[in-house]
Amino acid sequence: MSNYNVPSELRYSENHEWVRSLGGNKYRVGLSDYAAQHIGDVTFVELPEVGSEVDKESVECVVETVKSSEDIYNQISGTVSAVNDSLEDNSEVVNSDCYGDGWLYEITADGDEDFNSLMTAEEYEKYLAEMED
Amino acid sequence: MRYLPITEREKKEMLEKIGVSSIKELFAPVPGEIMLKEKLNLPESKSEMEIEHYMSDLAKKNTGSEMLSFLGGGAYRHYSPSVVDQLLLRGEFFTAYTPYQPEVSQGTLQTIFEFQTMMANLFKMDVANASMYDGSTAAAEAVLMAAKINKKRTKVVIASTMHPQYIETVKTYTGFLVDEIVLMEMDPDTGKTDEKELSKIDDSTICVLFQYPNYFGAIEDCDLISAKAKEQGALVIPVIAEGTSLGILKAPGEFDADIAVGEGQAFGLPLHFGGPGLGIFTCKEKYVRKMPGRLVGKTLDRNGNECFVLTLSAREQHIKREKATSNICTNQGLMATAASMYLAAMGKEGLKKVALMNLKRASYLKDNIEAKTNCKTAFSGHIYNEFAILSPKDGEETLNALKKEGVLGGIPVKKYYPELSSMIIVNTTEIHSYKDIDRFVSILAKVTGGES
Amino acid sequence: MSYPGMTDLKLKEQTIFERSRPGREGFSLPEEDLSSAEKLLPENFKRKELDLPELSEIDVVRHYTRLSTYNFSIDHGFYPLGSCTMKYNPKINEKMARMSGFANLHPEAPEDTAQGTLKMMYEMQNMLSEIGGFAATTLNPSAGAHGEYVGLGIIRSYFDKIGDTKRKKIIIPDSAHGTNPASCTLNGFEVVLLESNEKGKVCVDCLKSMLNDEIAGIMLTNPNTLGVFESDIIEITKAVHDAGALVYGDGANMNAILGVARPGDMGIDVLHYNLHKTFSTPHGGGGPGAGPVGVCEKLVDFLPDPLVVKDGDKYAFRNLPDSMGRVRAFYGNMGVTLRAFVYLLEYGRDHIAEIAENAVLNANYIKACLKDIYHLKYKSDTLHEVVFDDSNLENGVTTMDLAKALIDRGFHPPTVYFPLIVPGAIMIEPTETESKETLDSFIEAMRNIYETAKSDPQNILKAPLNTAVSRPDETLAARKPVLTYCKEGD
């Protein structure tokens, strides 16, 4: 077991993003506990535009700390259907509540292939354990 | 050598500690084939007195610096209270570097924070950065920033009445990054941007760049240009090349500018043949994270004391590297410090008074040139401290004749626009007495065959 | 203790806006009735209000004098900021730059009335070309990063001219300054990263495998940001040239080889100097700098507008046929250039090599005196600077803590956390203008911090204790930016 919280219902990417299926090919995206603990204090999040079409692996979102600027690689191709506006005044929730209020944006996809291709919680835990070695 | 304190004896001790027998050994990693075998071909070393002689001989050859001058065109000579240069000579300011360690840089940090505030207030914009190289590069970087904000658009529209060197600089910086740079032509009567040309602003326009007062001295109709740009969703970027004009003129924020830039040399900084100047960069708060350059912010230290620190660095090259908004690192810190001191000493009354003195002198000079010489005012637009005249013969010839009489009468526009061969741009500021102006007019009358 | 330590004259100072009192003035202008001037402009051209502070002269003097005392500067003491070359800034530079003949010369003054400054520019172009081993030098760029922009613009223009437009990539080692990749992007180049080898140098075979007909060039700093000289430089530049690409040199570290070796002789095609580093002009709290660019023969025609040439016994401006264009208004930071010119006049041909020699001696002395306790990630020989890291510091004391503890001991900290390839980097560049006793006291302070980290880590973790402020909250500053002064209640 790793030292990180890895909710079992989510899928994960190698860049430590999580994706939650909201049903009807809608997905919510955020940063995993591992990322939230390692990135440093988040000071600002640049969010994508609602309505914009996004591809898998494109950079639609940037998370800033005092000393870094991290590109977030989008994992689900589709259309951005919502963004977490509350981060504008409250970017620290990306650190403090990464699976809850600290979510980043939502996507409406054409299908579920992208989602299914991501790591399951079990696989991600294994991935984290290997990384920590 | 007075700047090298290590003595021969110390050198030996140090080499011993390092474990080598000579300094040459320390250069062992440099391949022998590229080590210089002979001394460089430079002048012989000079003592302080010899340097002073050499430099004063050079300075004397700059006869232009001592002549009665009416040169403007992006560089302006103004009165600067003595306190400015005296304070600037404090080594604590000029021999410090970028305030990377806030605990030992609060002097620089607070000064820059105050500079940002002064610029924001003067431009009536939300935020200003710590400075750019000069007005022209600030304008170029403003276009680059606008292109990041309006990233789906492809065209940049520039008023052709902007300083020609600013236009060239913007073209160098952005020419190969945007699809199209379009110039809006001048109205030959007013010297302002032709209203009809505003139709060149369309829904593919990233931004509209214009200077006021413009290169020919005319004050652009800012409200009109801004309204047209807003209608098309283009960003409004005014450029102020003569900082003191803001002592009286409408500020960029008052016509809803999105980004506003300028040159702050007019805030009492020496001319120095055109540099160092002071690039001013301001914008709306919502765009601050796309802004180039350094920013100082207020915060609290760990004991709860208010203090200042460099902030929003995640925009900058040392963090963003190839994804940075700009590559700027060193800016014009000391010039920003000088401008702050100038504005602190002048205050709101002083700057307003300077602006009015400039207006009054320019108007007086213009009227007298019209009345007493064979030159004519070129345009009807309102002016601040600069305007264009038409000489009865080639402008450069007139200027050469003036020069023989010890007067630098203005800039020959032909230098940039060969078709405007008789046009001269004349500037006057508060450093001219009315006697100086009368003398200029009488010599101009003499060389152009008018009343003297 | 023999190091300076720190005690402050801490006079508290409010912002200049709080000092303001309505009705005060700090200027002296002729009495004049300006009521007629008010009417010269229509109301809709005029601003509604002007918000600037109102102060008498003594307020201005006290304000800035007090603020100045919150700064550490070279005039105070040792400032070993690696990669920044914080050498002493001679006072005669300031005196010469303030001569009216130079300071009051207008950039549009006719050339025949500006022969003094033009001659200075011409001689400076030639001196810098000689120092770097180049065919020509432009004085236009306003800072190092501006020089990089120009240098890469010259490369871009060169490939455009010869029609080799496929070359859109620049190779940059991972130890490079952040300005390098940013300057590439600004010129439309894509960056390809080159990893350093175990010696902290360019891996020549890796480089060779990366070269192809899409590579426009490589950007190198030599010595690199670890202070390590790329001893394979001849092989490197030859390989790059053979592949049809060009070599850009970042001159940030010219102080290591000034008068000893020349970038041009190493096969570097274009290089920017930093006059505010190598040539002693003041850093001014962050500029103005100047970043002249030297180029080899085949790149001369692409230099930005304008260059100073000598025509008979007259000096004049000239634009070159294939110029990359204009990169700023007028001709560059001539006030800065002039200071560097004065500096070179004083050293001259006879003493210039002593600059690098003493700089390299001082850096190696510090290294020799600290390497038994501070960890060196790269063991290679170094020239003008040395990069330690914090891995030998105990009890959780980091590079940041060490930096703050140095402040308490009376020194400006070195550059920290750069280069990025050394985690916890402590980058020390003493320069040639420091005396042995200054170096010794710095060494003593560094050793004291190392020991104190073991015996009394709290002393280090709480540092700095003797400054007006201690460890500002940078996260707060970035989350809720306050970038301008607002009156209470606004």
Q: Which domain-ending residue is among C347, C379, C414?
A: C347
Same domain, C372 and C467: yes
Q: Is the CB of residue C434 less than 8 Å away from at least one CB of chain B?
A: yes
Same domain, B283 and B337: yes
> Angle B61-B64-B68 (CA atoms, 0-180°, nearest 5)?
140
The three-class DSSP label of residue B184 is strand
Query: Which of the two residues, A133 and B223, has the higher pLDDT score?
Result: B223
Residues of chain B in contact with residue A66, where contact means CB-CB under 8 angstroms, are 313-314
Q: What is the chain C residue with the closest CA to B19?
A: C368
Same domain, C296 and C209: yes
The answer to the question of residue B190 being in a domain is yes
Q: Helix/strand/coil (H, E, C) string of C30-71? A: CCCCCHHHHCCCCHHHECCCCCCCCCCHHHHHHHHHHHHCCE
Percent of all residues in chain C with a pLDDT value above 90, rounded to a whole number: 94
Report, as an integer, the average pLDDT of C425-431.
97
Angle at which helices B434-448 and B333-372 pack, to 10 degrees? Answer: 50
pLDDT at B182: 97
Q: pLDDT tens digit string along C13-35?
A: 999 999 999 999 999 999 999 99
Quote the CA–CA distance of C252 and A70 in Å, as a whole number.
Answer: 28
Report, as an integer, the average pLDDT of A7-36.
94
| Number of domains within chain B | 2
Q: For the domain that residue C228 is a member of, what is the CATH number? A: 3.40.640.10
Same domain, B214 and B320: yes
| Number of domains within chain C | 2
Q: Are C282 and B333 in contact (CB under 8 A)?
A: no
The answer to the question of residue C36 being in a domain is no
Same domain, C117 and C186: yes
Residue for token pair 């200042």:
B308
Same domain, B333 and B362: no
Q: Which domain-ending residue is among B283, B310, B341?
A: B341
Residues of chain B in contact with residue C477, where contact means CB-CB under 8 angstroms, are 297-299, 309, 311
Q: For the domain that residue B327 is a member of, what is the CATH number? A: 3.40.640.10
Is the pLDDT score of B379 beyond 60? yes
Instruction: Identify which of B421, B426, B396, B393 has the alpha carbon closest to the alpha carbon of residue B409.
Output: B426
Same domain, C99 and C222: yes
Q: Is the CB of residue C74 less than 8 Å away from at least one CB of chain B?
A: yes
Same domain, B281 and B330: yes
Report, as an integer, the average pLDDT of A77-102.
95
Is B313–A43 a contact, with Cβ atoms under 8 angstroms apart?
no
Q: Are C327 and B169 in contact (CB under 8 A)?
A: yes
The answer to the question of residue C34 being in a domain is no
Strand order in the sheet with B423-427: B376-377, B386-390, B423-427, B411-412
Q: For the domain that residue B439 is a member of, what is the CATH number? A: 3.90.1150.10
The three-class DSSP label of residue C137 is strand
Q: Are B384 and B351 in contact (CB under 8 A)?
A: no
Instruction: Identify which of B340, B310, B314 has the alpha carbon closest to the alpha carbon of residue B325.
Output: B314
pLDDT at B452: 47
Residue C71 has φ and ψ, to the nearest 5°, of -100, 145
Chain A residues bordering chain B (beta-carbon distance below 8 Å): 43-44, 46, 64-69, 71
Write down the ipTM of this complex. 0.97
Same domain, C441 and C321: no
pLDDT at A133: 72
Quote the CA–CA distance of B130 and C286 in Å, as a whole number.
Answer: 9
Residue for token pair 């690409």:
C245
Residues of chain C in contact with residue A68, where contact means CB-CB under 8 angstroms, are none
Quote the CA–CA distance of C198 and B33 in Å, as a whole number.
Answer: 25
Q: Which domain-ending residue is among C306, C327, C347?
A: C347
Is A69–B320 a contact, with Cβ atoms under 8 angstroms apart?
yes
Q: Are B283 and B292 in contact (CB under 8 A)?
A: no
Report, as an integer, the average pLDDT of B58-71.
98
Q: What is the chain A residue with the closest CA to B324?
A: A69
Interface list for B 275-314 with A (CB within 8 A): 289, 313-314
Is there a cis peptide before residue C419, judged by omega within 30 degrees of 0? yes
Strand order in the sheet with B235-240: B127-128, B279-283, B259-263, B235-240, B205-211, B155-159, B180-184
Beta strands in B32-150 (DSSP E): 68-69, 127-128
Report, as an integer, the average pLDDT of C54-73.
96
Same domain, C360 and C334: no
Is A46–B289 a contact, with Cβ atoms under 8 angstroms apart?
yes
pLDDT at B450: 64
Q: Are C259 and C128 in contact (CB under 8 A)?
A: no
Quote the CA–CA distance of C286 and C294 in Å, as a whole number.
Answer: 24
Strands A11-12, A17-23: pairing is: antiparallel
Got the DSSP string for B223-268? Answer: HHHHHHHHHTTPEEEEEES-GGGGGTBPPGGGGT-SEEEEE-TTTT
**Which of these ranges, C2-6, C245-249, C278-282, C419-423, has the smallest mean pLDDT?**
C2-6
Same domain, C369 and C339: no
pLDDT at A110: 87
Q: Is the CB of residue C479 less than 8 Å away from at least one CB of chain A?
A: yes
Q: Which domain-ending residue is among B341, B363, B392?
A: B341
pLDDT at C56: 98
Q: Are C384 and C227 in contact (CB under 8 A)?
A: yes
Q: What is the mean pLDDT of chain C?
A: 95
Is B274–C72 a contact, with Cβ atoms under 8 angstroms apart?
no
The three-class DSSP label of residue B154 is coil
Structure tokens at B116: 């940002």
Is C479–A43 a contact, with Cβ atoms under 8 angstroms apart?
yes
Q: Which domain-ending residue is among C347, C368, C397?
A: C347
Q: pLDDT tens digit string along B249-273?
A: 999 999 999 999 999 999 989 999 9
Same domain, B353 and B333: no
Same domain, C295 and C276: yes
Residues of chain A in contact with residue C479, where contact means CB-CB under 8 angstroms, are 43-44, 91-92
Closest CA of chain A from B138, distance in Å: 24
Q: Are B311 and C478 in contact (CB under 8 A)?
A: yes
Structure tokens at C184: 């590439």
How many residues are given for chain C?
490
Is the pLDDT score of A1 beyond 70? no
Strands A17-23, A53-54: pairing is: unpaired
The answer to the question of residue B381 being in a domain is yes
Same domain, C382 and C243: no
**Residue C194 bridge partners (DSSP):** C173
Is the pLDDT score of A115 beyond 50? yes
Q: For the domain that residue C425 is a member of, what is the CATH number? A: 3.90.1150.10
Q: pLDDT tens digit string along A98-111?
A: 999 999 999 999 88
Q: What is the mean pLDDT of chain A?
A: 92
CA neighbours closer than 13 Å in the CB half-sphere of residue B404 = 8
Q: Which helix (H) or strand (E) holds C127?
A: helix C115-132
Q: Is the dihedral of CA C211, C214, C220, C226 positive or negative?
A: negative
The answer to the question of residue B105 being in a domain is yes
Q: Is the dihedral of CA B370, B371, B372, B373 positive or negative?
A: positive
The residues, any chain, with a CB within 8 Å of residue B95's CB and separated by 6 or more, are: C73, C74, C75, C89, C282, C283
Residue for token pair 């022209």:
B136
Structure tokens at B443: 């010599």
How buried is C30 (Cβ within 10 angstroms: 0-12 exposed, 13-18 middle, 19+ buried)? Answer: exposed
**Architecture of domain A11-132 in this structure:** Beta Barrel (2.40)
**Helices (H), ranges, C243-385:** 334-370
Report, as an integer, the average pLDDT of B61-68.
98
Q: Which domain-ending residue is among B341, B359, B376?
A: B341
Q: pLDDT tens digit string along C379-412?
A: 999 999 999 999 999 999 999 999 999 999 999 9
Same domain, C446 and C317: no
Same domain, C116 and C252: yes
Is C474–A66 a contact, with Cβ atoms under 8 angstroms apart?
yes
Same domain, B301 and B358: no
Q: pLDDT tens digit string along B190-233?
A: 999 999 999 999 999 999 999 999 999 999 999 999 999 999 99
Residues of chain C in contact with residue B240, where contact means CB-CB under 8 angstroms, are none
Is A44–B314 a contact, with Cβ atoms under 8 angstroms apart?
yes
Quote the CA–CA distance of A65 and B383 in Å, as a whole number.
Answer: 47
**Residue C246 bridge partners (DSSP):** C217
Q: pLDDT tens digit string along C338-363?
A: 999 999 999 999 999 999 999 999 99
Residue C102 has φ and ψ, to the nearest 5°, of -90, -50
Q: Is the CB of residue C376 less than 8 Å away from at least one CB of chain B?
A: no
Quote the CA–CA distance of A106 and A113 in Å, as a whole number.
Answer: 16
The residues, any chain, with a CB within 8 Å of residue A63's CB and separated by 6 or more, are: A31, A39, A42, A44, A45, A46, A69, A70, A72, A94
pLDDT at C145: 94
> Angle B323-C290-C266 (CA atoms, 0-180°, nearest 5)?
80
Residues of chain B in contact with residue A87, where contact means CB-CB under 8 angstroms, are none
The answer to the question of residue B15 being in a domain is no
The answer to the question of residue C179 being in a domain is yes
The answer to the question of residue B161 being in a domain is yes
Chains linked to C by 3 or more Cβ pairs within 8 Å: A, B
Interface list for A 83-112 with C (CB within 8 A): 91-92
In angstroms, the Cα distances linking C431 to C143, C264, C362 are 20, 23, 7
Q: pLDDT tens digit string along B149-173?
A: 999 999 999 999 999 999 999 999 9
Residues of chain B in contact with residue C120, where contact means CB-CB under 8 angstroms, are 58
Closest CA of chain A from C477, distance in Å: 9
Q: B141 is in which domain, residue-wise?
A: 82-341
The answer to the question of residue B233 being in a domain is yes
Same domain, B186 and B289: yes
Chains linked to A by 3 or more Cβ pairs within 8 Å: B, C
Percent of all residues in chain C with a pLDDT value above 70, rounded to a whole number: 98
Q: C424 is in which domain, residue-wise?
A: 354-476
